[in-house]
Structure 1
Amino acid sequence: MDVVTDRTAGIDGAVRTGRALAEAAAAVLPLRWVRADFPLTAADVDPGFLTRALRDVAGGATVVAARPVGGTSGTTDRVRLDLSWDRDSGDLPRHVFIKSTPTSAKNRTMVAALALARNEALFYRHARSALSERSAPRCFSAHAGMGARHLLVLEDLTDRGGEPKALCDDVDAGYARAMMVTLGELHATFWDSPRLRGDLDFVRPERERPGFPLLLRQFRQVRSKLLKSAEYELPREVREMAAFVNANDWALHANWDKGPQTVIHGDTHLGNTFGLGDGGVGLLDWQVLYRAPGMRDVAYFLVTSVPVEVRRAHTDELLQTYLETLARNGVPAVPTRDQAWDALCLFAFDAWDSAAITLVWPGLQAPENVAKSVERANAAIVDLDVMPVLRRSI
């Protein structure tokens, strides 16, 4: 039986990798060589498309002009549009935020191989409506095609007082507590939900994610480079952890399949959050969502994004806030405090990996973000003394 299971897993993994490679192959083709039934870039978005996308909030009004007022390029291209309507009304959106196909073939390749654009479009189509207004931006239109071609029309959060954060920002304990509440509400909503076997079946377990074997290999290469290079100074505890993970990564990642499963955001660093005037916190960029224990999101945020002194002083309180939020939102068997601490120590290596890759892959984050997240992640690995939990977990 074990042999059959292993063979089946190997076949399934090969199929997933093959699909990821096919998506990557389409991604490297010139942008307009792959057809889509939606605008590929913000420049292709015209007033007629926007009028149709915004019909549920427009009350019959028509967009007559859309002017770009700033944007960035990365894993997606992002442009803010200033809208003009055929009539004046305080209820009409004055801006929208467009996320669309990367113009860079290199970025398209990564987005396609990992199904990032498809994930986010499906999140907004199927899962967003189950969450609170503050949890994520409102989406007016979501499209995804082959080779990372995609387009999202999102609300402009600044129009309702949202303040997007940068990864290098320093937040206080109040912001971190609000983030624990948001994560607790997200995870409670989908905690062992039958929808994970229904309309949310696209939210795959970690080791079934498109491109996961490729990602695992990439992280091994990152750890090996950091361990061998004299260019990077790593604390002794971090070097021990990185060497252990390189030798045992597949077995360690098997822990993602254990315990209650839920929809996790998957990339809960500070730069993917926004604060609101009422003290609430929401999440941006839902491209990496998958199925896993909720504590993985919690660990990722605490390790990469909370200032070191704040984390040291408030981790126990923050974990308790998260657990209480799960209970308040109907989770029947909430993890214990000790289980939450063990999960934090287990998932910390994965958060460290995500900071470390930005050191050796220029352009993933701005230099100031890289410096701050790596500093926080190194300190967290040392402070948490992760090795006893990692050794018990394989």
Structure 2
Amino acid sequence: MPDTVGIPTRVEELTPDWLTAFLAVNGHDVRIESVRTEPVGTGQMAGSYRLHLDHQNGAALPGTVIAKLATGTPDQREFGSGVFRNEVRFYRDLAPSFTVPIPACFATTISDSGTEFVLLLEDMGAAVQGDQIAGCTPAQAESIAVAAAGLHAPRWNDPTLLADMPLPTDADREVMDSILAPMAEVYRERFSPAGPSSAAVDWLVREAGDWLVAPLDNAALIHGDLRVDNVLFGPAGEVTVIDWQTITTGNPLRDIAFLLSTSLSTDDRRRHERGIVASYHRALVTAGVRDYTLDECWNDYVGNLIQAPLIIVFGSAAAQPTERGNAMFDAMLSRSAAAIDDLTPGGL
């Protein structure tokens, strides 16, 4: 692949010559003659751009692709190196194992430090990115949850997956315990949560350590940040899941709890969450998961509502502050705090 020292961190560096060399080492015999770029998406950790390509000998390469790359200062990129490695690893090594709908990936590269990377992904064209602040409809949430079964079911309790990506250990808990309370205070200073939202942050700090290392009956690869902002909706309502930066192994209902508690209005969640969890469970069973009842699925959903405040507190610290980002994290915590208050007796 191109010299890792030269991996672009600015869209202007995605020149025709660089792209030609990049595509060549990823198996594409194509010459890029010119490229025009435009920003897309609202990513908090990396930049995404649509590339309009004028190319020759590229029969399998479309005229537009999405480039995702590490942007920001060196300190910000160093902070994000772990999630950059995750996303490259997912598209490069893991994606063929799953049936969850994702964009096609044409090329990947990442530096040894993980602070520079580039992905060239399928341009989904007419698809529209979800809006986390506005939220989504119950029907959209159900479609996402059913699609997520295509991530969870194929390697459900797969020992090779768990050997390659072990579940959290006591050492992981110690690390989290050492930084969670300080990060929660940073969140408080920035957002001034009140009422149930403030109580949810207290609950997170109090309960997260035990939850992280609790023994699991079932585990799978999880997205880790499954919410409507990370989904593209096609013209017929079809969903495509994007932003695979936070993959890990764990209870798969972490994804569903995070999705429903942050992406639905409180009223819609209260009316529809049991039905959506049931649809997700049916999709798991259809995909081959056995010996897992709907009651167990619901209990796992409730037991993993802590995923939302955990990702919100950590994510707000990792992301570059923006007006939209601030509004997004505030809305997400308010919705998830209501779910915790509703479903976790005595939790808050």
Q: Could you say which residue in structure 1 is the equivalent of 2:116?
A: 149
* Structure 1: runs of 5+ lacking an equivalent: 1-34
Change (3 A) 1:197 1:245: closer
Residue pair 2:45, 2:320 contacting (<8 A) in 1 also? no
Q: Could you say which residue in structure 2 is the equivalent of 1:268?
A: 226
% identical aligned pairs: 21
Distance 1:356 1:234 in 2: 16
Q: Residue 371 of structure 1: CA displacement?
A: 3.2
2:1 corresponds to 1:39: no
Q: Residue 39 of structure 1: CA displacement?
A: 2.2
Q: Could you say which residue in structure 1 is the equivalent of 2:55?
A: 85
Equivalent position SS for 2:4: coil
Paired letter, 2:308: A
Q: TM-score, normalised by structure 1?
A: 0.75
Paired letter, 2:4: A
Q: Could you say which residue in structure 1 is the equivalent of 2:194?
A: 233
Distance 1:380 1:269 in 2: 15
Change (3 A) 1:36 1:359: closer
Q: Could you say which residue in structure 1 is the equivalent of 2:311?
A: 354
The structure 1 residue matched to 2:98, chosen from 122, 126, 131, is 131
Paired letter, 2:193: Y
Equivalent position SS for 2:284: helix
The alignment covers a number of residue pairs equal to 341
Residue pair 2:141, 2:263 contacting (<8 A) in 1 also? no
Residue pair 1:57, 1:92 contacting (<8 A) in 2 also? no
Q: Could you say which residue in structure 2 is the equivalent of 1:205?
A: 167
Q: Could you say which residue in structure 1 is the equivalent of 2:180?
A: 219
Paired letter, 2:233: G
Change (3 A) 1:208 1:136: farther
2:69 corresponds to 1:100: yes
Distance 1:61 1:102 in 2: 26
Change (3 A) 1:61 1:343: same
For residues 177-192 of structure 1, the aligned pairs below 5 Å read 177-192=142-157
Q: Could you say which residue in structure 2 is the equivalent of 1:14?
A: none
Residue pair 2:16, 2:34 contacting (<8 A) in 1 also? yes
The structure 2 residue matched to 1:243, chosen from 179, 192, 202, is 202
Residue pair 1:51, 1:63 contacting (<8 A) in 2 also? yes
Distance 1:120 1:44 in 2: 21
Residue pair 2:173, 2:209 contacting (<8 A) in 1 also? no
Distance 1:62 1:228 in 2: 51
Paired letter, 1:138: A
Range with greater deviation from structure 2 (275-284 or 67-76): 67-76
Distance 1:362 1:119 in 2: 19
2:230 corresponds to 1:287: no
Equivalent position SS for 1:377: helix
Q: Could you say which residue in structure 2 is the equivalent of 1:339?
A: 296
For residues 63-78 of structure 1, the aligned pairs below 5 Å read 63-70=32-39, 74-78=44-48
Distance 1:249 1:88 in 2: 50
For residues 2-21 of structure 1, the aligned pairs below 5 Å read none
1:20-60 per-position Cα deviation (integer Å, ceiling 9, x unaligned): xxxxxxxxxxxxxxx72662333333324434555699985
2:270 corresponds to 1:317: no
Distance 2:139 2:259 in 1: 14
Q: Residue 169 of structure 1: CA displacement?
A: 2.6
Range with greater deviation from structure 2 (182-191 or 37-46): 37-46
Q: Residue 268 of structure 1: CA displacement?
A: 0.8
Distance 2:174 2:190 in 1: 24
Residue pair 1:241, 1:387 contacting (<8 A) in 2 also? no
Change (3 A) 1:225 1:154: closer
Q: Could you say which residue in structure 2 is the equivalent of 1:18?
A: none
Q: Residue 97 of structure 1: CA displacement?
A: 1.3
Question: Which structure has the larger Rg?
Answer: 1
Q: TM-score, normalised by structure 2?
A: 0.85
Q: Residue 178 of structure 1: CA displacement?
A: 0.5
Q: Residue 343 of structure 1: CA displacement?
A: 1.9
* Structure 2: runs of 5+ lacking an equivalent: none
Distance 1:78 1:208 in 2: 36
The structure 2 residue matched to 1:298, chosen from 256, 272, 292, is 256
1:303-342 per-position Cα deviation (integer Å, ceiling 9, x unaligned): 11112221111011001011100000001222x2332232
1:147-182 per-position Cα deviation (integer Å, ceiling 9, x unaligned): 422111111222xx3211121133111101101111
Change (3 A) 1:222 1:194: closer
Equivalent position SS for 1:79: strand
Change (3 A) 1:82 1:247: same
Equivalent position SS for 1:285: coil
Change (3 A) 1:154 1:381: same
The structure 1 residue matched to 2:79, chosen from 110, 118, 122, is 110
2:136 corresponds to 1:171: yes
Paired letter, 2:83: L
